[in-house]
Structure 1
Amino acid sequence: MTICGKEGVVMKEMYAIAEREGINIRWWDFAPPLRGLYWAPKDLPPVIALDNALENNTPLLRSIFAEELGHHFTLDRAAICRTYFNYRDRLAVSRAEYRAWKWAAEYLIPKKQLRKALRNGNGTLWDLAELFDVTEEMMEFRLKLA
């Protein structure tokens, strides 16, 4: 069972956030390892594209959707649509990914609820990931932030 039995509520909240922010959600067939992307051209509404394969994997869908929302809230839109050529550009991409992951982890796994889950004996990575309905990778990242 997920935290508070609200597995569908957070998904609805994320869709509501996207709608409120004017973000279009699109579903496509991506080739692995690509599962989602955030695209925000200068003169068009931003788009979050999600892989159709996520439909049957709720923890992965929630984690990726939240990360893409994280890009919306943490990126400079002017820097999104450009080509990266050098090491400094790659570092900027890494920082952008980190900020998006941090936003997603803190959104999906609030510190107060995480502390409560740990106090209640949910000590393993997979137990916590299942409880919060996220990937183990997302949970591991969140635990490092805590």
Structure 2
Amino acid sequence: MNLYELYDFAVDQGIDVDWYTMPFAKSFSIFIPSLDRRAIALDPWKFETVADEFTTLGHEVGHCMTYSFYNRWTACDVKKKHENRADKWEIEQFLPLDALEAAAHEGCTEVWDLAERFGVTEDLVRKAICWYKHGNLAVDQYL
């Protein structure tokens, strides 16, 4: 899936995606209960690469697809749980284990090479490796 297809996927799932200039965030997702709507806001001026935009949008779509939302008063451990749920959804959608294994069999084994191949950031590749190898996203403990 490329960036344009990801935007289309979000819209097809009933998720509003809008661009805003935001002073303190690159992106966020929300659920509006009174309208039964999910929405994503992205600041397009904060993306350094297409892979950065794709990975950020994929993460926010993960929040929307798993209904993993929180607010500023939510406890830190609950926030982390929702962030992890969004990351896991994104990994399973865009870096499935069989695709990573196939890439490795073809000699694509470096993090930067995998990121380039799948059109995502190196950070997401590291999380995917950690998720599939260790069953968690604690990259700082393993990689």
TM-score (norm 1): 0.80
C-alpha distance in 2 between matches for 1:83 and 1:15: 26
Question: Residue 2 of structure 2: which of 10, 13, 20 is its match?
Answer: 10
- The one-letter code sitting in structure 2 at the alignment partner of 1:123 is T
- Kindly indicate whether residue 126 of structure 2 is the aligned counterpart of residue 128 of structure 1: no
Structure 1 portions without partners, runs of 5+: 1-8
User: In the alignment, what sits opposite 1:68?
Assistant: 60
C-alpha distance in 2 between matches for 1:47 and 1:141: 25
User: In the alignment, what sits opposite 1:5?
Assistant: none
Q: Relative contact order (alpha carbons < 8 A, sep ≥ 6): 1 or 2 greater?
A: 1
C-alpha distance in 1 between matches for 2:26 and 2:87: 14
User: In the alignment, what sits opposite 1:31?
Assistant: 23
SS in 1 for 2:18: strand
Count of residues paired in the alignment: 131
Question: Residue 98 of structure 2: which of 106, 109, 112 is its match?
Answer: 112
Q: Identity over the aligned pairs, expressed in percent?
A: 26
Structure 2 portions without partners, runs of 5+: 133-143
CA displacement at 1:30 relative to structure 2: 2.4
C-alpha distance in 1 between matches for 2:34 and 2:65: 17
* CA RMSD in angstroms, aligned pairs only: 1.9
SS in 2 for 1:40: strand
